Structure 1
Amino acid sequence: MANTRTSRSSSSSTVSCHACGKKPRSPAKKRRQKPNPKRRPSPAPYFESLALVAQRVARIKRKLVAEAPLHEIVEDFLEGVTSEPAFPLEHHDDTMWLRDAIARSCESILDEPTGESIVQLMAVPELDLIHGSVAIAGYMGVALYFEDIHLGVVGLYPDLDDGGAYYARLVCYDNPADWLYGPN
């Protein structure tokens, strides 16, 4: 058993653990830092994610131009782009011409008049992309349209597991605001 003795002084008490009476070593003093309320997290991860979104959208656009299978394009968008935190979702788009084109393409996919359809679109001007959701005749779906190349894709999925998914390629030149192509 180690020799321990306590000595009292007027200011504090110390415990000696050594037989020779030496004080134990005190740990090195840490420099205390004052909290900086103005310090913000670095924006680097956000901008890296934004660059990643732009790269993935460019890859999807190349696949669309190269006429890759449409289900791959939709899956790449849903899994690779919309899952990124930097993907902007706050811009709402009010393009009735594109909503009508999507509804018409959904009717042609299903080979029947579908009646009422709900198409919610959002624009991402930085990427020349309009995307959104589609609800029509018991199907839920997704729509993508690239304004700069006038191409897009629609994917419809049944609400119940009674069938497969349907896909259609969108080629739209009837934007009334586009002076080059005009309505057709």
Structure 2
Amino acid sequence: MELLPNTEKELLQQVASGSEQAFGTLFNAYRKKLYTNIYRLTESRETAEDTVHEVFLKVWLNRATLGTIDNFGAYLQRMARNYAVSGFRRMAKEALILSELKKEEANQSFSEQPAQPEHQLMSKEVRDFIRQAVDNLTPQQKTVYLLNREGGLKTDEIAQQLGISVNTAKKHLADALLNLRRSVNDAYGPYAIALFVFFDIYRA
């Protein structure tokens, strides 16, 4: 159900004043689209459903500020994406910590070694893996990837610096990310999508 801008603004003002009926109308208008977009990102129906409910719960709890929002659809999508990304980061951290603990138990060395900080347990193995995967990229892909992710350059800036076209720079970056995602997926299976987000290799 699409809402006209004026209708949406009126509903937001009503929700800000505490109208549960107006809130229900907004929920029904945006729930399906929000769910679909989050499902595409997470590939999990449960996560998408949970995200929708969490986002609208936050909307209701912060309803007093709704009157100042110009684009409610974009506001919802931003909230949902941030919530999903935060969830992925938690998943990645938990998965990697569990992986390290299992390795220590298998080696029967868990009780003999001093406890490590959580971030060390979580990151060393996978960061080393990502670095190796980056080293395995073609020279062009590696250069563009590092300039973008570590140098913070946009593709047009990379193109100018390397003397190549913008489209070529975009292709090298897209190919680099695709190859990195494949490497992570092969190595970490069900945790791959969480790691894509955690290490920022899920999008160009």
Report the TM-score range of the alignment, normalised by the length of the smaller protein: under 0.3
Structure number with the bigger relative contact order (C-alpha 8 A, sep ≥ 6) is 2
Relative to the length of structure 1, the TM-score reads 0.26
Mark the structure with the bigger radius of gyration: 1
Of Structure 1 and Structure 2, which has the larger fraction of its residues in helix? Answer: 2
Of Structure 1 and Structure 2, which has the larger fraction of its residues in strand? Answer: 1
Relative to the length of structure 2, the TM-score reads 0.23
